[in-house]
Structure 1
Amino acid sequence: MPGRFFLTTPLADIAKFAGRADEALPEAKPRRNIQPGQDVIALTTDGFEPMRWGIIPVGRVNARGRPVMETIINARSETVFDKAAFDGVGRAVVIVDGWYEWTGEKRRKTAWRIHGNAPLIFAAITDVWKAPGGRDVKQVAMVTCEPNKDVADIHHRMGVLLRPEDVPLWLGNDLDAARALMVPWPDGMLSIEKADDVDWTAD
């Protein structure tokens, strides 16, 4: 599952890739280290907009009626549409150049950069958190599934990836059509390399 993202492709080119070239775009600088808790650019039926990566589950409860305490960064595809904790969430996509994962023991971890031959479209869910002072904070979490063979040696989960033509289905009202998209990305379409050149203290 995505630990961090990177996006250096201009957002205008991302919009063209998504078939949304005519839409208004927020400002977005190139970033090689997008972390949970920071803003990412999400695409919904309302267009592109910044959202906080991580759903603060204030007021959300699990199946036993107990409060969900941990911030939701990623949501499992197997339960995202069934768990009480996800009642009322919306859907979005997050388009980036790729993501990072880590392997190994603490203090000896190896960082890996994962990307394709084109931008990657991650299926996501959205929510709105009522922050102190009454400010509405739009939030997003990625949907994950079993890994394909490309990723399996690095992580036991991966983000659900979509083709551009799948985006309207994911953002649409047909829940069964959205469920059908939550499968591993086809094998052989991702490249993986060591990410020794990334400054993990920078955005």
Structure 2
Amino acid sequence: MPGRVFLTTPVAEIAARFGLDPEPVANEPPRQNISPGQTVVALTPEGLQHMRWGMIPVGRVNARGRPVMETIVNARSETVFDKSAFAGTGRAVLPVDGWYEWTGERRRKIAWRIRSAEPGLLFFAAITDTWTAPGGQVVPQIATVTCEPNADVRPVHHRMAVIIKAEDVPIWLNGSEERAAQLMNPWPDGRLVVEAATGVDWSDT
């Protein structure tokens, strides 16, 4: 369940891969440590754009009609199309080079870097909405979708991001809920590398 991600691939390469204009995110630098609450580059039906990672659920309610109070960073694939808290959300993809997980006891935690076993990006399924801040500023927001872990990730976490094949990105962005739901599966075993995360400035938030 990604709590932090990294993206060092130039956004121009991401744009070129999908035939998109890189201009909306052209000033995005390589980043080794991206945490919730920060701005990320998202692939949306309209193209590439900056979004805030974490959905402030103003006006959203749960199945009992009670307001959702906590910022939504990750949404469970098992309920993302059914929960009232996610009603009316859009879909997007979060391109990353990988993400981090931690194991161990507090103050003795070990950080793990998770990346593709083959060179290339990973594409996380995500949902989106907008938040109107005090003063009227409209903030696009994104939350990643998670599922059960595959064998690669299971030793370090009980959830993982839903990873979409590049050729299936259009289905997630524009397909029906039925077709999109078919993509919400653990990434096949053996396609991820889990390694100790060294040389990361964790204060760079």
1:4 Cα deviation (Å)?
0.3
1:13 Cα deviation (Å)?
1.3
Q: Which amino acid aligns with 2:19?
A: R
Over aligned residue pairs, what C-alpha RMSD do you find? 1.1
Amino-acid identity (%): 63
Counterparts of 1:3 and 1:139 in 2: how far apart (Å)? 16
Identify the residue that residue 152 of structure 2 maps to in structure 1: 150
1:110 Cα deviation (Å)?
0.3
Counterparts of 1:22 and 1:131 in 2: how far apart (Å)? 28
Q: Which amino acid aligns with 1:186?
A: P
1:23 Cα deviation (Å)?
5.1
Q: Which amino acid aligns with 1:77?
A: S
Counterparts of 1:153 and 1:4 in 2: how far apart (Å)? 18
Q: Which amino acid aligns with 2:177?
A: L
Counterparts of 2:3 and 2:15 in 1: how far apart (Å)? 24
Give 3-state SS (helix, strand or coil) of 2:121's partner: strand
Give 3-state SS (helix, strand or coil) of 2:202's partner: coil
Alignment match of 1:126 (pick from 121, 125, 128): 128
Give 3-state SS (helix, strand or coil) of 2:179's partner: helix
Q: Which amino acid aligns with 2:69?
A: M
For 1:115-194, list aligned pairs within 5 A. Answer: 115-116=115-116, 117=118, 118-194=120-196
Provide TM-score, normalisation by structure 1: 0.97
Counterparts of 2:95 and 2:24 in 1: how far apart (Å)? 13
Counterparts of 1:137 and 1:22 in 2: how far apart (Å)? 21
Q: Is 1:62 aligned to 2:70, yes or no?
A: no
Q: Which amino acid aligns with 1:79?
A: T
Identify the residue that residue 20 of structure 1 maps to in structure 2: 19
Equivalent pair of 1:12/1:25 in contact (CA under 8 Å): no
Counterparts of 1:190 and 1:110 in 2: how far apart (Å)? 18
Counterparts of 2:175 and 2:9 in 1: how far apart (Å)? 30
Compared with structure 1, are the counterparts of its residues 59 and 52 closer, same or farther at alpha carbon in structure 2 (3 Å cutoff)?
same
User: Number of paired residues?
Assistant: 202
For 1:1-150, list aligned pairs within 5 A. Answer: 1-17=1-17, 19-22=18-21, 24-26=23-25, 27-116=27-116, 117=118, 118-150=120-152
1:9 Cα deviation (Å)?
1.0
Equivalent pair of 2:97/2:122 in contact (CA under 8 Å): yes
1:130 Cα deviation (Å)?
0.8
1:202 Cα deviation (Å)?
1.1
Q: Which amino acid aligns with 1:61?
A: V
Counterparts of 1:112 and 1:187 in 2: how far apart (Å)? 17
